[in-house]
Structure 1
Amino acid sequence: MKNHILLTGATGFIGQYLLERLLEREIPVVVVARGNSERSANDRIMHVVSQIEERTNKTLPRPICFTGDLIEPELGLDDFAIEWFEENCRAVLHNAASIRFHCDGDRSKDPWRSNYSGTKNVLDLCKVAGIREFHHVSTAYVCGNRRDTCYEHELNVGQTFANDYQESKLEAEKAIRGSDFLDSKTFYRPALVVGDSRDGFTSAPDFGLYHYIEFNFQLTRQLRAATGDPGHLELPFRLAMTGNERRNVVTVDWIADAIIHLLTHPELHNETYNLTPQHPITSRTVVEGLAKYFNYSGIEFVGEENVDRSEQTDAERMFYDFASTFESYWDDEPIFDRTNTDRALGDVLPTPRLDDECMQRIIDYPVRECFAKKAQETTS
């Protein structure tokens, strides 16, 4: 009986949450993963499940694991594996992706290699194995540089892109939509995903908002070490923002709950869902949350005009040099239409509010469990 769901990207940040929710619902799961120098593919997946159990105090069934690689044709699976998928697998939840921003003009590298070519390889596997139900974790930022209202039914409307990540995810969606052999195609477009709303947990404190959290950690740590004063910092700092820029931030627990709810309700398939916040926050919310956590004041929002480099303080220069990669994300973000999402999830799964308490948890976990420990290891 074909009842298994193939999950790709099960070891990743969102993937671990998807795996947990599938297993706790006793939905038969099969994963394809790579081995590494320390563990086989199977050992990696079982280690992930054990970590989930330890963190959540749950006992979970084990998934089936095949060794394979997203960047290989048909994921590098042999005839036995493909026959197994043909006999047992009814759907794919394609979550694996690269979050690298740029490929330096070489589309044989990530993010194109994983996000576009990898998706094509998953599609090829589905075709030969007779899998006709496809669920794809895309991104709300297939909208590229748009700043108007982005509707769920839209994809390519002639927009430009801030980076290769956005464009490669758009092309992956196009490849899936163009695969006529599929009977069902469901697209999930998360906004900026941060840690668990309940405790701030993240397994990937190395992208998006976390870059800014780590910068704040390093800067305030250096300043306090220089002055010998662990107390409040006065940090005169001019930010080239108004403070009112929209920030579409969602927590990983809600994203996983939303995807699994939609996946397990067939009447909700064959749609595109903008998994974006009902109540976006602002850049001021983020900055004030960071200032509160790291105990400093002095931030001034000076509008959208850049602060001339010749007039920047040392701290400002450090920040603008660090943040240049993400400058395209400083602008006001689009309004994301949530018509399908609200219809399917509005009353069932409202998005957690990123209020002050939640923001402090989101900041605290990576500082306490990642950045502070890394700094201690460096100095010891």
Structure 2
Amino acid sequence: MTSTMTTEGAEEFAGDVVLADDIAGFPAPDPQTVSEVFLTGATGFLGAFLLRDLLRQGLVVHCLVRGADTAAARDRLTANLRALELLDDVDLDRVRVYTGDVTKPRLGLAEDTYAGLARRVGAVYHSAAKVNFLTLYKWLRKSTVEATHGILRFACAARATLHHVSTTGVFEPGADRPPRAELDPTGPPEALSLGYTKSKWVAEQLVLEASRRGVPVTIHRPGQVWGDSVTGACQPNDFVWRFIKGAVQVGLYPRRFRLEMNMVPVDYVSAAIVAASRLPEGTGGIYHQVSPRTLTSDEILRLLRGVGYELPEVSILRWMKAVAADLTNSMAPLLSILVESEKVEVARFADEATRDLLDGTGIVCPDIDDKVFGTYVAYFVRQGVLPAPGA
């Protein structure tokens, strides 16, 4: 998203992009022989789908989950799967839950537990992230940058391939440039508008340096992750869904709002990451999980009207005033981003390397058409996030 720059300059990141000396390379394991893996972020959105798809590969999945104890951590995991309507698709008998924290030494695990896990797993999937579009980089350093050091140390201890989930947000925003391909330069960090994307850029630099040292890694950059194209399960705190809910709450839609985002279904993102991670030729690559086309504000309005929401168009100023008048509106906390922004957009992305790798797997990105969008709305109605159209 394009907005006014924060006060963080290049010097803010100079010390943070230095990889710790104790992280050293090792030979990559054959992914097709790996039977046990380690996953962070399973209580998040993408992480829950990664858990499902890893289990579909017949793997044993060891999940790091925050919680007062193992029972509480497992309850958090189960509740997240249930909310995303994934619980019936997950074989919990092959899930091992550990209470821990990616920001702590040894991931918050006891020394013997840490060592025992390192002996068992052959791949590490790091999808945990603190997503906050309003927080400065310095407040995300620990949860993103320091955590990446910890995950890299664990991958080295396990001699396991690291599959690192980054974001296309590491590219400077702007749709006026050619599509950014997997190997195109990212940043610079001072040009990124959000503390979150800056922290992800720094974390990615650490992973790239680890790769140069011989640590086997893959980097995955999803676009804006939307719901499951089959069940409709979505995350309600996604920026675009907050925008949609905010419009439904006030019963109005902003005219000529310059919104253009690369929305990609979560089931495709997860399937693409897992498939790439299981192919020997996938190790060491950078992959984009993106949609072939962007979604504009006009298209979102057409989709909303198609499912039955009658939203009159008004000026952007009148719409923002209506949102600001209701502190319970889902967009009220994010109005500052819109006020500061010339427009809300992302760069355009290419994914040729990703599609070449997935050729023959049958994994392709579904289009977000009327049918898929209808499943998203139906899920949110079931969850009580949106009123039924016409209610």
Flag whether TM exceeds 0.5 (same fold).
Answer: yes
1:83 positional shift: 1.6
User: Equivalents in 2 of 1:312, 1:35: separation in Å?
Assistant: 41
- The answer for the alignment partner of 1:80 in structure 2 is 112
Q: What secondary structure, in the 3-state scheme, does the structure 2 residue paired with 1:296 have?
A: coil
Q: How many residues align?
A: 344
Bigger Cα displacement from structure 2, 24-33 vs 56-65: 56-65
Aligned-partner residue type, residue 338 of structure 1: D
Q: Does 1:324 align with 2:352?
A: no
- The answer for the alignment partner of 2:150 in structure 1 is 121
Q: What secondary structure, in the 3-state scheme, does the structure 2 residue paired with 1:30 have?
A: strand
Aligned-partner residue type, residue 188 of structure 2: G
Q: What secondary structure, in the 3-state scheme, does the structure 2 residue paired with 1:31 have?
A: strand
Q: Does 1:138 align with 2:166?
A: yes
Note closer, same or farther for the CA distance 1:2–1:338 as it changes in structure 2 (3 Å cut): closer
- The answer for the alignment partner of 1:285 in structure 2 is 299
Note closer, same or farther for the CA distance 1:85–1:359 as it changes in structure 2 (3 Å cut): same
- The answer for the alignment partner of 1:296 in structure 2 is 310
Aligned-partner residue type, residue 124 of structure 1: R
1:75-117 CA-to-partner distances (Å, cap 9, x unmatched) read 1122211221231121211000011123346x1x3x3322222
Q: Does 1:192 align with 2:224?
A: yes
Q: What secondary structure, in the 3-state scheme, does the structure 1 residue paired with 2:384 have?
A: helix
Q: Does 1:103 align with 2:119?
A: no
Bigger Cα displacement from structure 2, 40-49 vs 62-71: 40-49
Note closer, same or farther for the CA distance 1:4–1:168 as it changes in structure 2 (3 Å cut): same
User: Which structure is higher in RCO with an 8 Å CA cutoff and minimum separation 6?
Assistant: 2
- The answer for the alignment partner of 1:365 in structure 2 is 379
Note closer, same or farther for the CA distance 1:325–1:146 as it changes in structure 2 (3 Å cut): same
Q: Does 1:336 align with 2:349?
A: yes
- The answer for the alignment partner of 1:241 in structure 2 is 257
- The answer for the alignment partner of 1:378 in structure 2 is none
User: Equivalents in 2 of 1:86, 1:358: separation in Å?
Assistant: 40
User: Equivalents in 2 of 1:260, 1:60: separation in Å?
Assistant: 18
| TM-score of the aligned structures, taking structure 1 as reference length | 0.80
Q: What secondary structure, in the 3-state scheme, does the structure 2 residue paired with 1:186 have?
A: strand
Note closer, same or farther for the CA distance 1:338–1:371 as it changes in structure 2 (3 Å cut): same
Q: Does 1:206 align with 2:237?
A: yes
The answer (yes or no) to whether the contact 1:24–1:60 under 8 Å persists in 2 is no
Aligned-partner residue type, residue 151 of structure 1: A
User: Equivalents in 2 of 1:38, 1:28: separation in Å?
Assistant: 17
Aligned-partner residue type, residue 126 of structure 1: A
User: Equivalents in 2 of 1:50, 1:278: separation in Å?
Assistant: 30
1:189 positional shift: 0.5
User: Equivalents in 1 of 2:229, 2:192: separation in Å?
Assistant: 30
Note closer, same or farther for the CA distance 1:187–1:55 as it changes in structure 2 (3 Å cut): same
User: Equivalents in 2 of 1:36, 1:343: separation in Å?
Assistant: 44
User: Equivalents in 2 of 1:261, 1:60: separation in Å?
Assistant: 21
Mark the runs of 5 or more structure 1 residues left unpaired by the alignment.
221-234, 374-380
Please say which structure displays the higher CA radius of gyration.
1
Aligned-partner residue type, residue 215 of structure 2: D
User: Equivalents in 1 of 2:54, 2:299: separation in Å?
Assistant: 34
Bigger Cα displacement from structure 2, 67-76 vs 329-338: 329-338
Note closer, same or farther for the CA distance 1:36–1:333 as it changes in structure 2 (3 Å cut): same
Aligned-partner residue type, residue 113 of structure 2: A
1:269 positional shift: 1.8
1:170 positional shift: 0.6
1:51 positional shift: 7.0
Q: Does 1:315 align with 2:322?
A: yes
1:154-198 CA-to-partner distances (Å, cap 9, x unmatched) read 343536112111110010100111125553110111111111111
Aligned-partner residue type, residue 162 of structure 1: S
User: Equivalents in 2 of 1:52, 1:281: separation in Å?
Assistant: 23
Aligned-partner residue type, residue 313 of structure 2: I
User: Equivalents in 1 of 2:135, 2:86: separation in Å?
Assistant: 37
Bigger Cα displacement from structure 2, 53-62 vs 14-23: 53-62
Aligned-partner residue type, residue 367 of structure 1: V
Q: What secondary structure, in the 3-state scheme, does the structure 1 residue paired with 2:355 have?
A: helix
2:50 to 6, 18, 28: 18
User: Equivalents in 1 of 2:279, 2:154: separation in Å?
Assistant: 24
1:277 positional shift: 0.5
| TM-score of the aligned structures, taking structure 2 as reference length | 0.78
Q: Report matched runs for 1:123-272 at 5 Å.
A: 123-127=152-156, 129-147=157-175, 148=177, 149-158=179-188, 160-179=191-210, 182-202=214-234, 204-220=235-251, 235=252, 238-241=254-257, 246-272=260-286
The answer (yes or no) to whether the contact 2:41–2:128 under 8 Å persists in 1 is yes
1:288 positional shift: 1.9
